[in-house]
Structure 1
Amino acid sequence: MVRTQAPRDRRVAEGAGRRGERLAGWWLRLKGWHILDRRVRTPAGEVDIVARKGSLVAFVEVKTRATAAELDFAIDERRLARVAAAAELLMTRYARPGDDIRVDVLLLAPGVRPRHIENAWIAQ
């Protein structure tokens, strides 16, 4: 039986993703956010980080790429829709009455400052 590299590639990507999420959490905390949860799974999808800053709760999708040029293609409408659907299911768990809620994206690549896209999902 010949083994392919797919499982190893998946493990490498998973490791890079977890490192990116740790870095994203650190960066958000430096910007005054409190991390409420990480890697929250729902039937609609997963939210990488749930964070609070005052009365604002952000459901954050984190994307890590090998180069800054790849960041422009790291997120698409389909993926954002899944995060938004998951956030809708999770709102009652993390948000208090009167809180504002949004979906953010945090893009990471070596050698560049993290790019935080606030309110990345606007319901259609």
Structure 2
Amino acid sequence: MSRKAAEQRGRRAEAWAAFYLRLLGWRILARRLKTPRGEIDLIARRGRTIAFVEVKWRKEQRDLDLAIDGYRLRRVAEAAEAVAHRFSKQADRARIDVLLLAPWRLPRHITHAWQP
């Protein structure tokens, strides 16, 4: 798969993830936010909770189990730490979530995916 095709697939997955989160009552605050420490796919708020969301899309559902690992989660956590002050207020709770997507499957939402 070409780099351009992978980029388009990633953007579509993030759009689906944002749609899904909105259905669950989340408000999307930012998409594809780049920081010096890495990129955050989605930043969402619901009530007093801010979620920094890593989105992964795989063609086969069985491949989703290997789509996320400690290294990727650590990068998202470091990026979230760099920008959390821009999105959260004093009493907010922040967390790192993962949304795993595959064709013809319901999204799998892993909350609190990273806890150092």
Q: TM bucket by the smaller chain?
A: over 0.9
* Letter aligned with residue 74 of structure 1: A
* Letter aligned with residue 82 of structure 1: R
Which residue is 2:7 aligned to? 14
Structure 2 length as normaliser, TM-score?
A: 0.98
Which residue is 1:114 aligned to? 107
Q: Which runs of 4+ in 1 moved over 4 A?
A: none
* Of 78, 82, 95, the match for 2:88: 95
Shift of 1:114: 0.2
> CA offsets per residue over residues 55-91 of structure 1, 9 Å max, x none?
0000000001111011011001000000000000111
Which residue is 2:65 aligned to? 72
* Of 7, 24, 29, the match for 2:22: 29
Paired-residue identity, %: 53
Alignment: residue pair count: 116
Shift of 1:111: 1.0
Shift of 1:42: 0.5
| Structure 1: 5+ residue stretches without partners | 1-7
Structure 1 length as normaliser, TM-score?
A: 0.92
* Letter aligned with residue 41 of structure 2: D
* Letter aligned with residue 107 of structure 1: L
Q: Could you say what secondary structure the match of 1:121 adopts?
A: coil
* Letter aligned with residue 65 of structure 1: R
1-structure distance, mates of 2:66, 2:83: 27
